[in-house]
Structure 1
Amino acid sequence: MAGVLMEREKSMFSISYNDRLKTYRRFMHQSFNPIAAQMFWEVEEQEARILVENILESPEGLFQHLRRNAAAVIMKIAYGYPVTSNDDHFVAIAEEGIKIASLASAPGKWLVNSFPILRFLPEWFPGAGFKTKAREWGRILYEQSLEPHEWAKEQLRAGTAIPSFTSALLQSSDGTFVDAEEEDKILWCSGALYFAGADTSVSVVKSFLFAMMMYPAIQRQAQEEVDAFFASENRIPTLRDQDAFPFVGAILKEVLRWATPAPFGLPHSTSQADSYKGYYIPGKTSIMPNIWAMMHDESVYSDPFSFDPTRFIGENPQTDPRDYAFGFGRRICPGQHLAENSIWIQMVLVLLTMTITKATDTDGKIIEPEVAFTTGLVSHVQPFKYQIVPRKTAASSLMLTR
């Protein structure tokens, strides 16, 4: 459904292992390896500051601010496009694309995924409406990738392009543009950044905020670590300071484990027949890795349903969930370092400037939220009520007056 029928075989999420995938991986690695990803630190820090300012100014729009931040980071990095508001055009189409991709990729939703022969039914045949839907969805997703790509090209031609992933690949050092085949690879590769990055990072930050609200003692301990850094250095933390925050780093790991953002990762396929624990797996069989189960395996993580960052601190830390949360093999998330950096700086600046607490009703009684998550390709904590309390510290005052 999400590949052949939607004509998304060129998508990084659906493509077979071939030379085009190798090109995608090369593009991504040269731009987003741990060293290269540092060139985007300024963008991530700037957008994290804007996020904090927006939340404090209008806390009721918390989730919209998170969406805007994710889209702004990805659009600036992928295309050099500056997002300036929550209702920006590209924020809106990213939202639509995420919904379509989630529906099209939902495990078990489409019968044609289990019985591929159904793809040969004509669209007019009773029950074959999924083919019409696939054709329309595929067109929408392609156009949503094409639009920002064309915008970046126009900026290059006009000489006004902000350096970005797309602009760096489209134009060589002598100013000439790549050929049509290479450009098509760049378009699909940038589109993968655009759709993947705009939802998963929102899921993680939202879960972080929910966990801080549910575990106030952990929130206070993290704030103490952030405050101690400021007292010692007399400056706002940046992405260069990550090693100075072991507890915040442990919280990020625990959020990835406890609230697994991509419970089943991406579908993989066996290249040849295989066996696993006595089970025969034919070649070309779809494999769904149950990352959620791995993250909640009590033989690996003690008391797996409790939120406990200390499991990653000390002489015998438990298994780092980042080894699984970002996928596996040739389709491991190439933007992992980019995503971790963006999430980390958002976490630190939030801890520096505000406290999130449970909401109260009109009688002043605390509203106890349910710990529940959505299903789908990307999982989110269910909507919850909250209160944002600004922190009156020298650090938060300095950051918000810059």
Structure 2
Amino acid sequence: MGPQEIVIAAITVAFFLIRWLNQTDIPKIKNLPEIPGVPIFGNLLQLGDEHARKAREWVKQYGDVFQVRLGNRRIVFANSFSSVKYFWINNQSSLISRPTLHTFHTVVSSSQGFTIGTSPWDESCKRRRKAAATALNRPAVQSYMPILDLESTVSIKELLDDSKGGSVDIDPNPYFQRFALNTSLTLNYGIRIDGNIEDKLLKEITYVEREISNFRSTSNNWQDYIPLLRIWPSRNQKAKEFRERRDAYLSHLLDMLKERIAKGTDKPCITGNILKDPEAKLNEAEIKSICLTMVSAGLDTVPGNLIMGIAYLSSPHGQEIQKRAYDEIMKVYPNGDAWERCLVEEKVPYITALVKEVLRFWTVIPICLPRVSTKDIPWKNAVIPAGTTFFMNAYAADYDEEHFKDPFTFNPDRYMDVPDGAGTPHYAYGAGSRMCVGSHLANRELYTAFLRLISAFEIVPAKDRADDPILDCLECNATKTSLTLDPKQFKVGFRVRDQAKLDSWIKGSEERTADL
């Protein structure tokens, strides 16, 4: 073969290689706007490390629903409140499954299996979701309030001690990571980490779960979309490292529970009930999936919302909101018994509205876990075929100016006088058939924590302006490519409103929860 033939052959091979690498799992969808991209990478370079913000910017030019190419995957983005409602709620039976992605599903999850939320839809996922939903429905959540009594009291007491009566500014991150994690551990295993915020196991779980959250991100793992990148082992090695570290503490917790069951010293919990039920229809792998879900989900949303809610309350506008919230609490509970009553009722509408606005404003999962359609779905003049991956841009939907007046303004009043059942208030928990099954628990965690924090403290700015939080819901994220919000460190002051009352409340909670 001469030089000319070699060149022609090389060009031909390169042409077919690029053509093969440039194929997508779903062909271009007719009559649906497409964002122009480049070969092989598609739109990955344009989307950068903030998919939610960039996709929201594209709405002005391409409309609220469009298709993109991420490597060899075709993705449909929904970026408005109404389009998310159309696909995720009106067509929820057609959008019930999840795609599988190389990094999280093949590497990270090869030993413990998938969480409920990341599992493709099948009979096993249906059984696991039903078991979790039963354990986390409204009546069940009410029975868990003693746990929230204990964990919120422990966090507030440590804030009180560590702030030395309000003279020392505090970073609230680790306190409320533990609050959420211990709630999940107690519910699932009947076990809590009975140590301070420097506890080794606490720090290991929160750190590893944060890193694993990055492997579930839509923007952090290009090897999920470009198979050629999988031949480089470094990324897989990191995923394997964190898989092994997670395996260690999950096995440790489950073994502890089994040992306690054998000795008869276990406490009522979700996994214990399953293990002891001779008629339970869940196998070992499915039980591990529920355990995995409870540990990871507990750290996904509640800490970020609590921490950034505290951050906002420390701001000048937050001071006004705090005053209003405190006045509303006192209006409902003039005898000062809000601390106890919040465990059995939710009767301060402004705190409920505050919780909803925190969930909307911070949207701690800007791009929700992807869905994959099981049936064709019509949209205007297009038909989106079964097997297409969908991304909910929850950030864009929760900041949709067509649905929310002044969406970039933090305003709990937007949720006042809106009755329950009036429709989905926000997309912080996703929507439709695969909406977060723990939303009732998360709402009660947030309501209890905010009511008690505002009753106990006046949350004020730190003395040093360098410690002030960033109050933009994307800019405050320390890891922009993470699936969930990872708040940048900041500090605030916690000034006790009434030391004698707070001491009395803490003592009462400690007496009530002594057996937990």
Q: Please give the range of the TM-score, normalised by the shorter of the 2 chains.
A: 0.7 to 0.9
Which residue of the partner structure matches residue 506 of structure 2? 400
Structure 2 regions of 5+ residues with no counterpart? 1-102, 164-169, 509-516
Residue 206 (structure 1) aligned with residue 297 (structure 2)? no
Distance 2:420 2:149 in 1: 29
**1:10 alignment partner, one of 88, 91, 114:** 114
Distance 1:90 1:80 in 2: 16
**2:212 alignment partner, one of 101, 110, 120:** 101
Bigger radius of gyration among the two: 2
Distance 2:420 2:453 in 1: 26
Instruction: Kindly provide the CA deviation profile for residues 340-382 of structure 1, in whole angstroms up to 9, marking residues without a partner as x.
Output: 1111111111011101111223xxx797643232132111443
Distance 1:366 1:16 in 2: 45
Q: Residues 347 and 184 (structure 1 numbering): CA distance in 2 closer, same or farther, change over 3 Å? A: same
**2:224 alignment partner, one of 109, 113, 130:** 113
Contact kept in structure 1, 2:107 and 2:236, CA below 8 Å: yes
For the residue of structure 2 that corresponds to 1:247, the secondary structure is helix
For this pair of structures, how many residues does the alignment match?
Answer: 389
Q: 1:11 corresponds to which letter in structure 2?
A: T
Residue 162 (structure 1) aligned with residue 267 (structure 2)? yes
Contact kept in structure 2, 1:311 and 1:318, CA below 8 Å: no
Q: Residues 391 and 18 (structure 1 numbering): CA distance in 2 closer, same or farther, change over 3 Å? A: same
Q: Residues 93 and 385 (structure 1 numbering): CA distance in 2 closer, same or farther, change over 3 Å? A: closer
Q: Residues 284 and 156 (structure 1 numbering): CA distance in 2 closer, same or farther, change over 3 Å? A: same
1:41-52 matches, within 5 Å, as 41-52=145-156
Contact kept in structure 1, 2:330 and 2:336, CA below 8 Å: no
For the residue of structure 2 that corresponds to 1:355, the secondary structure is strand
Distance 2:335 2:179 in 1: 29
Which residue of the partner structure matches residue 140 of structure 2? 36
Instruction: Kindly provide the CA deviation profile for residues 88-143 of structure 1, in whole angstroms up to 9, marking residues without a partner as x.
Output: 3441232133222222122222222213x448x6xxx5x34323333333333333
Q: Which moved more, 1:34-43 or 1:232-241?
A: 232-241
Distance 1:302 1:112 in 2: 39
Contact kept in structure 1, 2:356 and 2:425, CA below 8 Å: yes
Q: Residues 243 and 74 (structure 1 numbering): CA distance in 2 closer, same or farther, change over 3 Å? A: closer
1:231-246 matches, within 5 Å, as 231-232=334-335, 234=337, 236-240=339-343, 242-246=345-349
Instruction: State the superposition RMSD in angstroms.
Output: 2.7
Distance 2:280 2:352 in 1: 41
RCO (CA 8 Å, sep 6+): is it higher in 1 or 2?
2
Task: Please report how far the alpha carbon of residue 200 of structure 1 lies from its aligned counterpart in structure 2 after TM superposition.
Answer: 1.5
Q: Residues 325 and 71 (structure 1 numbering): CA distance in 2 closer, same or farther, change over 3 Å? A: same
For the residue of structure 2 that corresponds to 1:149, the secondary structure is helix
Distance 1:5 1:342 in 2: 33
For the residue of structure 2 that corresponds to 1:244, the secondary structure is coil
**2:470 alignment partner, one of 370, 388, 401:** 370
Q: Residues 278 and 128 (structure 1 numbering): CA distance in 2 closer, same or farther, change over 3 Å? A: farther
Q: TM-score normalized by structure 1?
A: 0.88
Task: Please report how far the alpha carbon of residue 186 of structure 1 lies from its aligned counterpart in structure 2 after TM superposition.
Answer: 1.1
Q: TM-score normalized by structure 2?
A: 0.69
For the residue of structure 1 that corresponds to 2:109, the secondary structure is coil
Contact kept in structure 2, 1:55 and 1:61, CA below 8 Å: no
Q: 1:308 corresponds to which letter in structure 2?
A: N
Q: Which moved more, 1:309-318 or 1:290-299?
A: 309-318
Q: Residues 277 and 118 (structure 1 numbering): CA distance in 2 closer, same or farther, change over 3 Å? A: farther
**1:290 alignment partner, one of 372, 376, 393:** 393
Task: Please report how far the alpha carbon of residue 220 of structure 1 lies from its aligned counterpart in structure 2 after TM superposition.
Answer: 0.6
**2:283 alignment partner, one of 182, 186, 204:** 182
Distance 2:121 2:415 in 1: 35
Task: Please report how far the alpha carbon of residue 209 of structure 1 lies from its aligned counterpart in structure 2 after TM superposition.
Answer: 0.6
Q: Which moved more, 1:207-216 or 1:366-375?
A: 366-375
Instruction: Kindly provide the CA deviation profile for residues 148-206 of structure 1, in whole angstroms up to 9, marking residues without a partner as x.
Output: 1121111101110011111011102xxx5969x61321121121111111242110111
